[in-house]
Amino acid sequence: MIEETFTHLKSIDGFGDLSLEDIRIEPLQTLAHSEVYRVRLHSLSTSVILKKSGAADVAGLAGRERQFYRHVAPLLPPGLVPGCLLIVDGDRTGSLVMEDLSGSHRPASSPAPTRAECRCFVEALATLHGLTGRGSASQSKWTDIAAGLPAGTIQQRLGFFQLVLEPFISAIHGQVDREVERFLAGLHDLEHRIAQAGDQADVIVHGDAHFANALFSPEPRACLIDWGMPMVAFGEIDLAHALALNLPPNLRREWEQEMTDVYLGRMAACGSPIGEAAFLERYRLGVLYSLVSPVIWWCSGVPEPQWRSALANSLDAARGLGLLT
């Protein structure tokens, strides 16, 4: 692996004087679709991050992430996503070489983000959405942006959700109120309802907008990471994923209006203002869509505490919006 990494790095501008002895590879994290390493380059007194996908996922989430960095990231402002130095596509594996932000950024607080982190995260999402919407200054680049993303990701998830929804409701029968069972059963047409939202509000969305998928700088500012699920959809899906699915209900209730205002304000500043009525309609759909994740996680064998917590979060958000009485 050292020799392969050395060959890749030598092809990057400014790294041509590297020697094999300069490189030290440190394992950082094993993800579902890739392995993450820090590569220390001693002669240059610097380091980079290497994300290497396995053979089983060369065209899956890791492949989508490489497509994102190839087609979308170059059109975004510096700092919104990590800088990508090299994209390597192989027959059996693929790799990304990215800047190492560990010296200037930190992960979100655990187990829940701080209020400031939440604001930064929402601002980053709104910046992404505002700059890639059809009504924004980047409208002329829309075709190029959309062409680089996988088609039908949201439809695929909704199709699978509809297949497993009835077994999921059967599995939790007696463990939740009948009111909740009826509400979940009513989501069988969610794909149609989301399709009716129309495509004029479509933007580039992260697709997995939880707070662990950001790094925070001291300013503070959020840098969005882990781009394995980018989609073309309405931006409120990302916002609901963050607030409804990934915030504890007490924090969501306290912060939701503030974060909504932050989102709308940033969208307007990016040249993509949203009317409050249209925003609320799509945000409500985004909260409904957030329920897709715990159902799919249940079917995929995710530990029960994780999907149950997410389900409770989204159901509480639905109640708060009057979707579940």
Phi-psi region of 322 (alpha: psi -120 to 50; beta: other; left: phi over 0): left
**CATH topology identical between 2-99 and 106-320:** no
Q: 106-320 has which fold?
A: Aminoglycoside 3'-phosphotransferase; Chain: A, domain 2 (3.90.1200)
- Concatenate the DSSP letters of all residues of 138-202 into one string: TGGGHHHHHHTS-TTHHHHHHHHHHHHHHHHHHHTTTTS-HHHHHHHHGGGGHHHHHHTT-STTE
As a whole number, mean pLDDT of residues 9-16 equals: 90
Angle at 96 between CA 246 and CA 211, to 5 degrees: 10
pLDDT, tens digit, 9 for 90 and up, residues 36-78: 999 999 988 999 999 998 655 545 777 889 989 988 898 899 9
pLDDT, tens digit, 9 for 90 and up, residues 252-264: 999 999 999 999 9
pLDDT for residue 196 is more than 90: no
Show Cβ contacts of residue 325 under 8 Å, excluding neighbours closer than 6 positions.
179, 319
pLDDT at 135: 62
Environment class of residue 231 by beta-carbon count within 10 Å: exposed (0-12), middle (13-18) or buried (19+)? buried
Instruction: Using a pLDDT cut of 70, give the percent of the chain over it.
Output: 91
Least confident of 2-11, 106-115, 161-170: 2-11
pLDDT, tens digit, 9 for 90 and up, residues 200-235: 678 899 999 999 999 999 988 999 999 988 888 899
As a whole number, mean pLDDT of residues 279-306 equals: 97
pLDDT, tens digit, 9 for 90 and up, residues 50-61: 999 865 554 577
Structure tokens at 300: 């995929």
Which position has the higher pLDDT, 38 or 10?
38
pLDDT at 138: 54
pLDDT at 134: 65
pLDDT, tens digit, 9 for 90 and up, residues 93-139: 789 999 999 999 999 999 999 999 999 999 999 999 998 876 655 54
Q: What is the distance between the alpha carbons of residues 325 and 311, in angstroms, rounded to a whole number?
A: 16
pLDDT at 156: 86
pLDDT for residue 82 is more than 50: yes
Average per-residue pLDDT for the chain: 90
Q: Are the CB atoms for 252 and 317 separated by under 8 Å?
A: yes
pLDDT for residue 141 is more than 70: no
Phi, psi of 267 (to 5 degrees): -60, -45
**pTM for the full predicted model:** 0.93
Q: 2-99 has which fold?
A: Phosphorylase Kinase; domain 1 (3.30.200)
Query: Hey, where are the domains in the chain?
Result: 2-99, 106-320
pLDDT at 72: 87
Identify which of 266, 221, 262 has the alpha carbon closest to the alpha carbon of residue 79.
221
pLDDT at 195: 85
pLDDT at 43: 87
pLDDT for residue 92 is more than 90: no
pLDDT band at 198 (very low <50, low <70, confident <90, very high): low
